[in-house]
Amino acid sequence: MHLGLVLTVLVCCCVQSSNSRKNVLFLVSDDMRPNIGAYEGKEYPAPVSPKMHTPHLNALAKKSLLLERAYVSQALCSPSRTALLSSRRPDTTHVYDLKHYFRLVGGNFTTLPQYFKQNGYRTMGIGKIFHPGMAASGNDDPISWTDPYFHAKDTYGDMKDIWYAVPESKVKREPLQDTILANHAIGVLKEVAPKAKSGEQPFFVAVGFHKPHLPWYFPMRFLDYYPLSSLREPENYYVPKDMPPVAWHNFSNFDAFSDIKKFHFKDVGYINFTFPRELTLELRRAYYCALSYTDSEVGRVIAELDKLGLANNTIISFWGDHGWQLGEHSEWEKHTNFEMATHAPMMVHVPGLTDHGVKSQHLTEFVDLFPTLAEAAELPPIQLCPEDSSKVDLCTEGMSMVPLMKNPNYPNWKTAAFSQYPREVGQNRVMGYSIRTDQYRYTEWPEFQGSPQYQPQWNIEFGAELYDHHIDYQENVNRANDPAYQTVRDELRGKLIAGWRQALPPGYK
C-alpha cells in the first residue's frame, strides 16, 4: 500500500475514534450502604469496625465525582430504581412497592437506557437493573434495551440460611450468581469493544449485582478481612428516643431463615428487639463480606474495560439502590426514612473531567443521575418536568450534576433532598415524607390517598420526626416535640409540604 494512503487511513481512523461518543458502563449494587472505604468520617453514615474492604470502588471513587450525600427517593428496590431510571419520583411514577410497573400506573416514561438507545447506543442489560419480574417491570422493561436481557441463575437459591461462606473449591465448580453476571459482562464488553473503539456504535452496558442483598452468600476467602474479634455492635443498638411507632419497620421476615429460626426468638423484628451479641456480629460480618465480594466483581468488570482500551472514552457510574440498617436503631434491612436507609453510595467517572477525583457534599438525589449521564455523554439535555408529566415521555425531576464535576461547591444548587416510605396503620394508608437539609432531617407521616389522587392529607398526621445532624448525626433523639425546636419544625414542615420544586435553585424551577 502507498505510504500516503496508509497515513490517510490512519488519520481517518484516529479522527473517527476521537470524535466518537462516550460509552457508558452503568454499575449497580443492591442494598449497599455507603460504608465503602471512599466514604470517611462520622457521617458516612455510621461507624463500622473494621472498615469495609472495598479497594476497587475506592479506586473508582478516586477518579470520579463522589456524591457524599446522595439520597434515594424511597428505600425499597423497585421504587428507588424506577425513580432513578425514569428521573421521576414515586408520587409521579406511582411505584411504591414491588408489584406495580410504572408504564401501567404512572405513564409511558422514557427511561435512561431507552434514551441512550434512541440516540444510537447499543443498550444491554445484565442482572438486576429494573426490579425483575412481570409485575414490577414487565420483565426488565424490554423497550429500554437493544439486545435480549441477561439474568444469571442463582445456583444457591434453594438454600435457607441467611448467610453462607462458600468454600473456594465449591465456588469454582458452582460460581455464585454475581460472578456469572460479571463473567457475562466481561464477554459483552469484548463483543462491543471493536465498534465502540472505531466510533461506529457506542454502548450503554448496565450490570446489576445482587449482593449485598439477602441472603449473604459469598466466597469464604472474604472472611479473612473481617475476624469476628474485630467486629463491633452498632453504637446505637436501640430505638431513637421519642420515635413514633409508624417510623418502625418490622423485620420479622428474618425469622424465616433457618439459621435464625433455630434460636426460637420471640418478637423478632418488633420495636427494640435485638439479637444476641455474637449473632449480631456474625450478621454484620456476613454483610461486610457480601459487600466486599460485590466490590471484587465490580473490579473485574472495570479491569476488563481498561484491558480493552475503552477507559478513556467510557463514563462509569456506580450506585447502590438504597442504604441498609445493620442493627442501628435496632433496625435491620431498609424500609424506613432514617438516614441509614435513604443515604446510598453514588459516583460518576467522566474521562477528562473527573480523572483526579471530585468530592461534593451538596445534597443530591438519585433522580439527578439521568440528566447527568445525558449531559456527560453530550446527548440533548433533559428538560424539567411540568407539574403533571403523566403524558410527557421525556423529562426530569432532578438536576444534572455535571456542574458539580467542574466545581464541587457549585453555588446554584438545590437546598434539600426528599424521600418517602408508605405504611399501613390499621385501615389507614400512610406515607412518610422526609426532607433532608444541610442540618436536619424532618419526617412527617400523613394519611395518604392512593389512586387516582396520589395525595397526602397533611392535616391527618400519624407521627413526626426531627433529627438535628449537627449534634446527633446518628438520629438517636427525635426532637419533633421539643419546644426548643418548634420554630425549626414549622419551617421544615413548610418546606416539606411545598415539595422538591421549591428546593430547586432560583432560575431552575
**Mind telling me the catalytic residues?**
77, 131
Q: Give whole-number Cα distances, 279 to 15, 253, 263, 285, 393, in Å.
A: 60, 16, 10, 10, 49
Considering the chain, tell me which residue range(s) the CATH 3.40.720.10 domain(s) occupy: 20-406
Q: Which range has the worst mean pLDDT, 41-45, 297-301, 353-357, 384-388?
A: 41-45
Helices of type H across 377-448: 402-406
Q: Could you give the CA distance from residue 465 to residue 480 in angstroms, rounded to a whole number? A: 5
User: With 70 as the cut, is the pLDDT of residue 36 above it?
Assistant: yes
Q: Could you give the CA distance from residue 505 to residue 499 in angstroms, rounded to a whole number? A: 13
- pLDDT tens figures, 462-505: 999 999 999 999 999 999 999 999 999 999 999 999 999 999 99
Architecture of domain 417-503: 2-Layer Sandwich (3.30)
Residue for grid cell 433529627: 467
- pLDDT tens figures, 111-144: 999 999 999 999 999 999 999 999 999 999 999 9
Question: Nearest to residue 206, comparing CAs of 128, 303, 305, 96?
Answer: 128
* pTM score of the predicted model: 0.95
The helix/strand/coil state of 223 is helix
Please tell me the CATH superfamily of domain 20-406, with its number.
Alkaline Phosphatase, subunit A (3.40.720.10)
Cα dihedral sign, 424-427-431-432: negative
Q: Which amino acid does the sequence have at 230?
A: S
Q: What is the SS3 assignment for 268-284?
A: CCCCCCCCCHHHHHHHH
- pLDDT tens figures, 88-111: 999 999 999 999 999 999 999 999
pLDDT at 14: 38
Q: Could you give the CA distance from residue 182 to residue 47 in angstroms, rounded to a whole number? A: 30
- pLDDT tens figures, 168-182: 999 999 999 999 999
Considering the chain, tell me which residue range(s) the CATH 3.30.1120 domain(s) occupy: 417-503
